[in-house]
Structure 1
Amino acid sequence: MDKKYFTELAKFNRVGTGQVCSWLQQISDEQWLRPVVSSFNSIHDTVLHMINAEDAWLQRFRKENLVRFDQRFTGTRQELLELWQQTSQQLSDWVAAFDETKLRAPFTYRRFNGQEYTSLYYQVIAHVVNHATYHRGQLVTLLRQVGFTGVQSTDLIGFYRV
């Protein structure tokens, strides 16, 4: 486990975000907002959760005040998708600039409810990417449920094969 591995994971996350965003640009507003049975009530709500989580971790990594993205975003789908891609790029850049000697260092952070936790940096970076991977998989299923069939695998091995 070294910085190269986590840099690759962050790049995988960024590429996966771009892939999913390209699909989400092709669906109708009705498909985007259609109620679904999943962790969240629509594709829109799932994406909003994903960018909120990624943005929150980025804020925590940067030692910024934690502000909920989903409570301040009022833009269009296109603006949301662009912000999501920018956030994934910023996360990738942050990981690329991260001091490898701190991967096993403790990282203390607060959840939105104020509860404090301490984990190791490498654990949190892996979590952020894993969380996004989990929800990208949900989006593949949700897109199929609303009638969009132009999806492909978003698996890590596919990223490495390119």
Structure 2
Amino acid sequence: MTDAKQFYDYHSWANKRICNHIENLPEETAYQEVKSVFPSISDVLLHMCRADYIWLNVLSGVAYQEIIVGAGKFESLHGNMEAIKQHSSELESQYHDFFSRQTDLEQTVSMQHPKLGTLETTYADIILHVVNHGTYHRGNVTAMLRQLGHTGVPTDYVYYLYEKRESKG
């Protein structure tokens, strides 16, 4: 099986492709109101960034209440694509730091949630959740781009694998 770190690398690759694609469109595209799950593309990307922050802190063993307080800092990024990209880049570095310190991603970890209770799972399962969550919301972005009259950009896992193969060759 492919390891969780490679899936995370795919997640980062796909997020960068989306952001780079949006940067090549008219600036207002990211902020235009769309009748969708989120009011704008920048709102989706902010949500994804916040979620990546939350799950990195879960992986790091930070207490739930502390994570929620820390996630509040993302409100200041609303409507600022450059700041969202910067935070995403910083989070990617922090995830890689986590990977360098965590040698066994199949290790069991216990998560506490005030409403859902305790969950015994693995670091790998949480990372796969992060990737799956990102994939879902990149689909939202693609649909929103089409509503606004723009094309999307391919971010399927197989495109990542092809690009990875090309960079080795």
Matched residues, number = 155
The amino acid that maps onto 2:128 is: A
Map of 1:79 onto structure 2: 83
- Aligned equivalents of 1:73, 1:117: Cα separation in 2: 31
1:43 to 2:46 alignment: no
Separation in structure 2 between the aligned mates of residue 133 and residue 153 of structure 1, nearest angstrom: 11
User: Helix, strand or coil for the counterpart of 1:120?
Assistant: strand
How far apart, in 2, do the equivalents of 1:43 and 1:75 lie? 10
1-structure distance, mates of 2:126, 2:36: 25
- Whether contact under 8 Å (1:14, 1:92) holds in the other structure is no
Match of 2:146 among 144, 147, 160: 144
For 1:134, the equivalent position in structure 2 comes to 136
1:81-120 Cα deviation digits (max 9, x unpaired):
12113213422442354222x514133143xxx4343141
User: Are the equivalent residues in 2 in contact too, given 1:54–1:87 (CA < 8 A)?
Assistant: yes
* Identical-pair percentage: 23
The one-letter amino acid paired with 1:32 is A
Deviation at 1:63, TM superposition (A): 2.4
Structure 2 distance, partners of 1:144, 1:75, is 20
Residue aligning to 2:166: none
Q: TM-score, normalised by structure 2?
A: 0.79
Alpha-carbon contact 2:53-2:91 (below 8 Å) kept: yes
Structure 2 CA distance for aligned equivalents of residues 155 and 46 of structure 1:
18
Is contact 1:33-1:43 (8 Å) kept?
yes
In the alignment, which residue of structure 1 is the partner of 2:108? 105
2:7 maps to which residue?
9
The CA distance in 2 between the partners of 1:98 and 1:75, in whole Å, is 34
Work out the CA distance in 2 between the residues paired with 1:95 and 1:37: 38
Normalised by the length of structure 1, the TM-score is: 0.82
State the partner residue of 2:25.
27
Q: What are the ranges of 5 or more consecutive residues in structure 2 without an aligned counterpart? A: 164-169
Compute the RMSD of aligned alpha carbons. Answer: 2.2
Cα distance in 1 between the residues matched to 2:77 and 2:154: 29
Cα distance in 1 for residues equivalent to 2:77 and 2:39? 17
Gaps of 5+ in 1: none
